[in-house]
């Protein structure tokens, strides 16, 4: 007996979020098990307000295009899930005859999936991981992270060469990257060490280490005694000794909340006040939305997990997230998939492994870990040419 299945994209988009949707749609259509394949629009908000779109009418060309389209074609975003919202979701799922629901997102989305699964016991609920922060437990890495990490590596490499070019004018450049509570993305800047082996050491600051202004300034001055310039990479969410973000702001709007950010501008301003020529940069949301540095393995893993979600549902599983075990060894290797209960990942954050951290940077073991997951070097063939230092 055919049933109805629905999928939701939630949270911040990534460069490969739609690839997971494409993989899901391919598998759902080929299974011939569904009467209707639906998508709820704008994430959790769409589930609550009952905003859906039929997806079973998409052709092969449209689904193929989704594999290469950034953003969230269904609309994602953040929306609070309260008791009243759960009641509305339960009603909406029953009204539309939906017995299987897939949510693609991060730890907040998996928390919502756990709540929905508990409130709707007659609905199978499965989660597909998605986050550029790579802060999800239950998976070695999440679709979205590898592409964002590659972008950070490429961006820092370009900024490093730019800084070196004007080192007689600008001594310190501070670059802010995403990472409210964890430093996986900032750590990706360490890839530059392999590409620019003769560039001065890059200092990397992550939320896992408390940030002390006095130590920061002392380290900058010490570095500039030896090298003509310094590139600093800092997570947006670095925290002081009290555990509070050193810089934050309100994003605005009727439901405005304070979020970490503005760290690069703050630190570069403080350095200028100390007489050190400095500039602040922010890689911004391009980290999660660019298309020109997408990691191909990241795209393939997103498609793979989208398809596996259908298989997991048809095997009768529910209230679980699909995770990846270790590095990619083959994109059709189903043994790589592990099922993790929502309760073990919902609302939790996975920090950067302490073994990957040094006092002011990232250990070589992290670079080996990341490159084994990416499966490709930084940059295009033009950028891979031997860098000339004169």
| Catalytic (active-site) positions | 133
Pairwise CA distance, residues 230 & 110, whole Å: 40
Binding residues for diphosphate: 12
Host H or E run for residue 225: none
Tokens of 1: 């007996």
Tokens of 108: 């907040």
Pairwise CA distance, residues 99 & 338, whole Å: 23
Strands 52-54 and 230-235: unpaired
C-alpha pair distances (Å), 316 with each of 30, 117, 344: 18, 14, 20
Tokens of 262: 């503005």
Binding residues: 12, 107, 131-133, 178-180, 236
Q: Is 179 helix (H, G, I), strand (E, B) or coil?
A: coil
Pairwise CA distance, residues 356 & 352, whole Å: 7
Residue 4: how many other CB atoms lie within 10 Å: 17
Binding residues for Mg(2+): 107
Binding residues for substrate: 131-133, 178-180, 236
Cβ proximity of 152 and 188 under 8 Å: yes
From the CA atom positions of the chain, what is the Rg in Å? 22
* Phi, psi for residue 252 in degrees, rounded to 5: 95, 165
Question: Residue 150 burial by CB count (10 A; 0-12/13-18/19+): exposed, middle or buried?
Answer: buried
Pairwise CA distance, residues 146 & 152, whole Å: 10
């Amino acid at each position: 007996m055919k049933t109805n299945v629905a999928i939701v994209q939630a949270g911040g988009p990534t460069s490969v979020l739609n690839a997971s949707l494409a993989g899901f749609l391919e598998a759902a259509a080929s299974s011939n098990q569904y009467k209707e394949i639906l998508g709820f629009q704008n994430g959790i908000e769409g589930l609550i307000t009952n905003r859906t779109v039929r997806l079973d009418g998409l052709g092969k060309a449209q689904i193929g295009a989704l594999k290469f389209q950034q953003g969230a074609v269904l609309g994602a975003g953040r929306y609070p899930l309260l008791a009243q919202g759960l009641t509305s979701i339960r009603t909406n799922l029953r009204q539309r005859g939906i017995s299987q629901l897939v949510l693609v997102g991060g730890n907040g989305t998996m928390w919502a999936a756990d709540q929905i699964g508990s409130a709707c016991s007659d609905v199978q609920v499965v989660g597909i991981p998605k986050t550029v922060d790579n802060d999800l437990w239950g998976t070695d890495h999440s679709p979205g992270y590898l592409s964002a990490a590659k972008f950070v590596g490429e961006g820092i490499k370009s900024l490093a060469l730019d800084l070196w070019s004007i080192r007689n004018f600008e001594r310190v450049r501070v670059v802010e990257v995403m990472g409210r509570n964890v430093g996986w993305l900032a750590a990706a800047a360490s890839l530059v060490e392999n590409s620019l082996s003769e560039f001065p050491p890059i200092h990397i600051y992550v939320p896992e280490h408390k940030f002390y202004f006095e130590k920061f300034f002392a380290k900058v001055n010490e570095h500039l005694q030896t090298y003509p310039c310094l590139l600093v990479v800092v997570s947006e969410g670095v925290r002081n000794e009290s555990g509070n973000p050193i810089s934050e702001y309100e994003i605005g709007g009727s439901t405005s909340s304070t979020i970490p950010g503005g760290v690069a501008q703050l630190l570069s301003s403080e350095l200028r006040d100390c007489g050190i020529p400095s500039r602040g940069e922010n890689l911004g949301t391009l980290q999660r939305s660019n298309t020109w540095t997408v990691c191909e393995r990241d795209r393939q893993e997103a498609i793979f997990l989208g398809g596996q979600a259908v298989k997991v549902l048809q095997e009768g599983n529910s209230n679980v997230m699909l995770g990846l075990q270790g590095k990619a060894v083959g994109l059709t290797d189903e043994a790589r998939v592990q099922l993790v209960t929502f309760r073990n990942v919902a609302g939790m954050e996975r920090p950067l492994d302490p073994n990957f951290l040094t006092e002011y940077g990232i250990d070589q073991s992290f670079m080996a870990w990341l490159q084994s997951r990416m499966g490709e070097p930084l940059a295009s063939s033009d950028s891979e040419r031997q860098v000339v230092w004169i």
